């Protein structure tokens, strides 16, 4: 299961609004890619948070479309993922108020 839990926008070239998505997944996207390609390192394993999820950022495409590519490494919290996104964006990201980031272990 993967779901978009928050959306935002950033400015490309200080004028063109571009989307960004915060995605929650109950699997390690990059582990699954390596597994499918037969390229896992010896002893490599999924690294989910204590609730069994990881959070990802998607800049390039709608993560709900198929195949739903994710652009970031997996993060244990929403805040970590959002901070990573901001570190990659050339402008401030304006997140919509769909949800507030919560620390790992807390329930919505």
Q: pLDDT of the chain along its 108 residues, tens only? A: 889 999 999 999 989 999 999 999 999 999 999 999 999 988 888 889 999 999 999 997 777 776 678 899 999 999 999 999 999 999 999 999 865 554 444 443
* Residue 43 pLDDT: 87
Q: Which residue has the tokens 């990201």?
A: 93
SS (H, E, C) 38-104: CCCCCCCCCCCCCCCCEEEEECCCCCCCCCCCCCCCCECCHHHHHHHHHHHCCCCCEECCCCCCCCC
What is the 8-class DSSP label of residue 23? E
**pTM score, two decimals?**
0.82
Triad 49, 97, 107: Cα angle to 5°:
35
SS3 11: strand
């Amino acid at each position: 299961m993967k779901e978009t839990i928050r959306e935002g926008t950033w400015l490309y070239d200080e004028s063109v609004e571009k989307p960004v998505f915060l995605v929650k997944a109950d699997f390690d996207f990059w582990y699954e890619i390596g597994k499918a390609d037969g390229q896992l390192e010896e002893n490599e394993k999924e690294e989910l948070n204590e609730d069994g999820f990881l959070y990802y950022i998607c800049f390039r495409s709608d993560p709900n479309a198929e195949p739903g590519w994710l652009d970031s490494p997996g993060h244990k919290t929403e805040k970590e993922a959002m901070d990573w996104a901001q570190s990659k964006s050339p402008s401030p990201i304006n997140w919509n108020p769909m949800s507030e980031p919560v620390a790992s272990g807390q329930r919505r």
